[in-house]
């Protein structure tokens, strides 16, 4: 296997796209290997790297089925449920807290 072509940031030729760019077009990589990479140099650390895929080999995104929609709703509901009080917080609970804000800071008054 040869080395991947490397392009500078914002200088990739047409026909290549990142995963996000493919998704915006309603496409996905579809099992193809990474075709190239973008590198953005940084001063004190290694370069930022973004992987590129060929647009002509990308396939359409699979449609959302009722079962996938239900599984996604269940996963998001679990992210909103407080482990301490078992209530739906109405927002995604920060992993740094691990519980909803009222459970994490019980002594503070809520307006």
Query: Residue ranges of the domains in the chain?
Result: 6-60, 66-104
Mean pLDDT of the 32-61 span: 94
**How much is the pLDDT for 109?**
67
For the stretch 76-111, pLDDT in tens is 999 999 999 999 999 999 989 889 989 988 887 655
If 0-12 CB within 10 Å is exposed, 13-18 middle and 19+ buried, where does residue 23 land?
A: middle
Q: Are the CB atoms for 43 and 83 separated by under 8 Å? A: no
Mean pLDDT of the 38-56 span: 93
If 0-12 CB within 10 Å is exposed, 13-18 middle and 19+ buried, where does residue 35 land?
A: middle
Q: What is the pTM of this model?
A: 0.68
The most distant pair of C-alpha atoms in the chain lies apart, rounded to whole Å, by 61
């Amino acid at each position: 296997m040869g080395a991947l072509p490397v392009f500078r940031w914002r200088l990739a030729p047409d026909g290549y796209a990142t995963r996000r760019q493919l998704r915006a077009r309603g496409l996905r990589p579809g099992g193809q290997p990474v075709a190239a990479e973008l590198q953005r140099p940084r001063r004190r650390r290694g370069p930022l790297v973004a992987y590129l895929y060929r647009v002509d080999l990308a396939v359409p995104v699979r449609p959302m089925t009722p079962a996938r929609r239900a599984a996604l709703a269940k996963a998001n509901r679990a992210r909103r449920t407080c482990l301490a009080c078992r209530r739906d917080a109405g927002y995604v609970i920060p992993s740094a807290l691990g519980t909803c804000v009222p459970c994490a800071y019980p002594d503070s008054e809520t307006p």
